[in-house]
Amino acid sequence: MNLCPPQLWLLPWLGLPTLAPSAKRDTPGERVILILTKLYDYNLGSITESSLWRSTDYGTTYEKLNDKVGLKTILSYLYVCPTNKRKIMLLTDPEVESSLLISSDEGATYQKYRLNFYIHSLLFHPKQEDWILAYSQDQKLFSSVEFGRRWLLLHEGVTPNRFYWFTTVGRICTQDLKCIVFVLFLSDAQYITCKMQNCSEATRSKPFPGYIDHNSLIVQGDYVFVQHRAPPSNLPLFFPQDMHVISTDENQVFAAVQEWNQNDTYNLYISDTRGVYFTLALENVKSSQGLEGNVMIDLYEVAGIKGMFLANKKIDNQVKTFITYNKGRDWSLLQAPHTDLRGNPIHCLLPYCSLHLHLKVSDNPYTSGNIASRDTAPSIIVASGNIGTELSDNDISMFVTSDAGNTWRQIFEEEHSVLYLDQGGVLVAMKHTSLPIRHLWLSFDEGRSWSKYSFTSLPLFVDGVLGEPGEETLIMTVFGHFSHRSEWQLVKVDYKSIFDRRCEEEDYRPWQLHSQGEACIMGAKRIYRKRKSEKKCMQGKYAGAMTSEPCVCTEADFDCDYGYERHSNGQCLPAFWYNPSSLSKDCSLGQSYLNSTGYRKVVSNNCTDGVRERYTAKPQQCPGKPPQGLRILTADGRLTAQQGHNVTFLVQLEEVGSVDFGDGIAVSYANLSSTEDGIKHIYQNVGIFRVTVLVENSLGSDSAVLYLHVTCPLEHVHLSLPFVTTKNKEINATAVLWPSQVGTLTYVWWFGNNTEPLITLEGSITFTFSVEGMNTITVQVSAGNTILQDTKTIAVYEKFQSLRLSFSPNLDDYNPDIPEWRRDISRVVKRALVEATGISSKHILVAVLPGLPTSAELFILPYQDATGEKKRTAANLEQISETLIQKLNQNLVHFELKPGVRILVHAAHLTAAPLVDLTPSHSGSAMLMLLSVVFVGLAVFIIYKFKSFATGNLLTLPSPSLPCDEREGNNFRLFLSPSCST
């Protein structure tokens, strides 16, 4: 057995709301910690036990709550409401039961609720504490407005991890609609939005036309990102094969994009404030695969300093670490420390040698990653790495900077986990090791010096460290175990006793943020306050920057605008693929556009005056021009539609224009693009329609064409062909459809054992067979997304005879004239012939012909004797024919249709091959009759069941002359499937 890593949650203080937080936060005993531990049995492959622990004195003592959640209940996960820490939710192990437990008093008491689905993951609303989305194990999305007490099914077939709360007021939602209840999710590779409390089919919408990549939906901040499954034709040649959104802060998108020629690297792109136009910030940033297959980009955003990033870039198969202070406008290598841990000089000269850092952040909240920084300690960064020509996994040391990356110091020769306490005033380091430890290291001067402390009397296998959110106290909790078989041990470490006072104003000194001496960072000079290294006092609440003063704008505050590239002389000039005048083409006469100077100010840059006016884009009147760039497409991206259903067309050009739908209807619009919901039209007929949109102004016109295939659902296919034919004789096969007009069709024909089909656009085909015996013909009819097929067998012989059969007149009263009935009667007649004559069933074939009076064709086929030789002489066939005619004339061939209804079979006349010329002899006319009645047959055969041939009884069918919707006297009701009008 093995103890699974516990879940620990730190909850708010338990003081009454009327008490000031500052009066209680520094007093031990006012914090709640919840811990969920689980016991995993490797033999059974499952969790066999769980325990829930609660502390109300910040880890000094714990109470076991198993009796409050159920002694036999096995818990799988613990959630805390992000907007109200007093509300707790526990999930049970889905292998045992599907339930959840809810607490509204910080985990003191619980109520249990049964579920009819198994929760895979939960997503809490960022503002409403009781609103939750739940994703089930069978890909269903549920919502709750009662903190899980009741659930509503929103949608099925939702893509994992691709559903979001949408809380931005904008085009797809307004204040009146309470847009904070909107949900975004994927279903069938479509981007869908709906209101949580009303997500019916009628209220769902699809803001993005067509289909998208099923795993591409990302909602971050005010932005929604989707990737079209097939890029539109007007996109540039660049199209990403993968994209990750790094940040959407301050209305700007920072994205990592993998292009077609990259495998283990990504390019960083940064957008304008609209998130539409992107420019390259850094090429070939290293990436790697996580344990669960997720992609990790070696890019780290430094906490506390806007615009500061670290990235590992691949150059000539070497990975080097770069830093930027202005959101990717400029990048530089890291200067290595001048001395090592022992004070020995390090000879490392830029750009040949520099400091390289590992930038992976831990997914486990209880262990630190390779790098750490905090908003409340903006100048301090701790990371593992190495010094040399490139990043290496060998000889890893720990480094710290206390001046925001300008200078670095080596602090350990081995990897350590580092925890920030007291707003970074205290750094706690614990060695990364699989061995038990009992010591840790403390630094009170931003990592310049370290002291060794013992935190446990017995060596402890450390599994994680829990620090208080906000880092405003000096309390930490270390959890682990003394041996692999022992229970969990939690050690509360409180360093408050080290300090005897709080810091005062004279204990701080000013510190100015800079980049290698340059004080203007992102267009401003910012001065922070730092505790003096020699002062040993507790800082308390973080105050932020002391002052911030804007700088005069210089060229360094501007990046190259979209379509421009920086050349060796520092100027931003148009790229080879970009036409600067293209923006003017997107506006209409009388409007204005911003004419770029080739530069744009770095977003969040606060500089003023200077060269700002020179580099800022200038408004310019749109030149007069004829319409250009007109496009028309359907809302779902398809070129097919169903008859009688709404088709939505989207037109992309703001001009006066008209739309001709190709079916005799045309509509004019003052502004085509003003119809945000698209142009809707219903086609009453099937066919291919030429949809034309025309826009024009005084300078010219433009048009676009779309060919729309309007179809009707194909319900049935019947293959019509002769029963028997002569070898090497041309015959005709026809695919009869129901309904007869369904739109554009493709026919695929398969003959015998041929591996290659014949594809036609016509429903009839002529062919010959050169091999005797029974041959099969299959036709597949493709109509839109529907493919139906029918298969028939045809007998092919060089010589054969046929005999026309007739029946007692009373059979006509029971003949519904449908294919299924004729096939059943054929089998009954054939069995009656075999029983009366003793002739093998292999030598005869019976086909009941369409129409009235009822008649049939008896085919006498060449037979095979015991020696295996085929006898094809006319005498052989005539001998069988005479036997059959004799029995028929003696009224010895008969069958019972139903009790009391006896049918006699008679011989009409005998012919010899090639008398059976199915085109244009009697069988040819039979085919014409078949075509004329097949539609009635297809409608009627859905209620015909023939299951009693063993006794010779047939099911009685009503006369086709009766009404076809309801026949009470015959105890059945006929419902015809709806057909499409032509």
Could you write out the three-class secondary structure of 838-881?
Answer: CCCHHHEEEEECCCCCCEEEEEECCEECCCCCEECCHHHHHHHH
34, β-bridge pairs: 9, 54
* DSSP-derived 3-state class of residue 250: helix
How many whole angstroms separate alpha carbon 515 and alpha carbon 799? 100
Task: Quote the percentage of the chain above a pLDDT of 70.
Answer: 79
CA distance from start to end of the chain: 72
Max mean pLDDT among 521-530, 632-641, 729-738, 866-875 falls in: 521-530
What's the whole-number mean pLDDT along residues 151-169? 80
Higher pLDDT, 671 or 166: 166
Parallel, antiparallel, or unpaired for β 786-797 and 724-726?
A: parallel
969, β-bridge pairs: none
How many whole angstroms separate alpha carbon 857 and alpha carbon 890? 19
What's the whole-number mean pLDDT along residues 207-234? 67
Q: How many CB atoms lie within 10 A of CB 739?
A: 20
Max mean pLDDT among 352-356, 445-449, 711-715, 832-836 falls in: 352-356
The pLDDT of residue 521: 92
Q: How far is CA 287 from the centre of its chain?
A: 22
* DSSP-derived 3-state class of residue 519: coil
Q: Which helix (H) or strand (E) holds 363?
A: none
The pLDDT of residue 13: 28
- Please answer whether residues 797 and 772 qualify as being in contact, where contact means their C-beta atoms are separated by less than 8 angstroms: yes
Whether the pLDDT of residue 402 is over 90: the answer is: yes
Higher pLDDT, 136 or 487: 136
Higher pLDDT, 182 or 544: 544
How many whole angstroms separate alpha carbon 379 and alpha carbon 446? 9
The pLDDT of residue 229: 57
> Among 28-32, 70-74, 250-254, 739-743, whose mean pLDDT is lowest?
28-32
What's the whole-number mean pLDDT along residues 24-38? 62
> Among 187-201, 326-340, 353-367, 789-803, whose mean pLDDT is lowest?
187-201
- Please answer whether residues 278 and 253 qualify as being in contact, where contact means their C-beta atoms are separated by less than 8 angstroms: yes
pLDDT classification of 588: cutoffs 50, 70, 90: low
The pLDDT of residue 674: 53
What's the whole-number mean pLDDT along residues 609-637? 83
The pLDDT of residue 971: 28
How many whole angstroms separate alpha carbon 633 and alpha carbon 828? 57
Higher pLDDT, 896 or 232: 896
Whether the pLDDT of residue 161 is over 50: the answer is: yes
The pLDDT of residue 384: 95
902, β-bridge pairs: 896
What's the whole-number mean pLDDT along residues 311-339? 94
Residues 6+ apart with CB under 8 A from 965: 973, 974, 975, 976
Parallel, antiparallel, or unpaired for β 640-642 and 700-711?
A: parallel
- Please answer whether residues 763 and 747 qualify as being in contact, where contact means their C-beta atoms are separated by less than 8 angstroms: yes
Q: What's the burial of 396, exposed, middle or buried (CB within 10 Å: 0-12/13-18/19+)?
A: middle
Higher pLDDT, 287 or 628: 287
pLDDT classification of 473: cutoffs 50, 70, 90: low
pLDDT classification of 964: cutoffs 50, 70, 90: very low
What's the whole-number mean pLDDT along residues 752-760? 81
* DSSP-derived 3-state class of residue 933: helix
What's the whole-number mean pLDDT along residues 323-330? 92
> Among 116-120, 147-151, 274-278, 507-511, whose mean pLDDT is lowest?
274-278
- Phi first, then psi: give them for residue 957, nearest 5 degrees: -110, 150
The pLDDT of residue 149: 93
pLDDT classification of 654: cutoffs 50, 70, 90: low
Helical ranges in 686-772 per DSSP H = none
The pLDDT of residue 169: 54
Residues 6+ apart with CB under 8 A from 748: 757, 758, 759, 779, 780, 781, 782
Whether the pLDDT of residue 739 is over 60: the answer is: yes
The pLDDT of residue 755: 74
599, β-bridge pairs: 560
- Please answer whether residues 106 and 14 qualify as being in contact, where contact means their C-beta atoms are separated by less than 8 angstroms: yes
How many whole angstroms separate alpha carbon 906 and alpha carbon 841? 19
- Please answer whether residues 131 and 144 qualify as being in contact, where contact means their C-beta atoms are separated by less than 8 angstroms: yes
pLDDT classification of 653: cutoffs 50, 70, 90: low
3-state helix, strand, coil in the chain (%, to 5): 10, 45, 45
Higher pLDDT, 295 or 877: 295
CA-nearest of 87, 229, 224 to 163 is 224
Whether the pLDDT of residue 401 is over 90: the answer is: yes
Q: Which helix (H) or strand (E) holds 38?
A: strand 32-41
Assessment of whether the complete model's pTM goes beyond 0.85: no
CA-nearest of 757, 298, 397, 376 to 542 is 376
CA-nearest of 668, 629, 669, 632 to 647 is 632
Q: Provide the Cα torsion 817, 821, 827, 830; round to 10°.
A: -30
pLDDT classification of 745: cutoffs 50, 70, 90: confident
Higher pLDDT, 531 or 382: 382
How many whole angstroms separate alpha carbon 779 and alpha carbon 939? 21
- Phi first, then psi: give them for residue 82, nearest 5 degrees: -70, -25
pLDDT classification of 965: cutoffs 50, 70, 90: very low
CA-nearest of 631, 685, 700 to 659 is 631
405: left (phi > 0), else alpha (psi -120 to 50), else beta? Answer: left
Average pLDDT, the chain: 78
Q: What's the burial of 45, exposed, middle or buried (CB within 10 Å: 0-12/13-18/19+)?
A: exposed
Whether the pLDDT of residue 934 is over 50: the answer is: no
238, β-bridge pairs: none
917, β-bridge pairs: none
The pLDDT of residue 951: 32
The pLDDT of residue 239: 52
The pLDDT of residue 863: 62
> Among 42-56, 181-195, 374-388, 504-518, whose mean pLDDT is lowest?
181-195
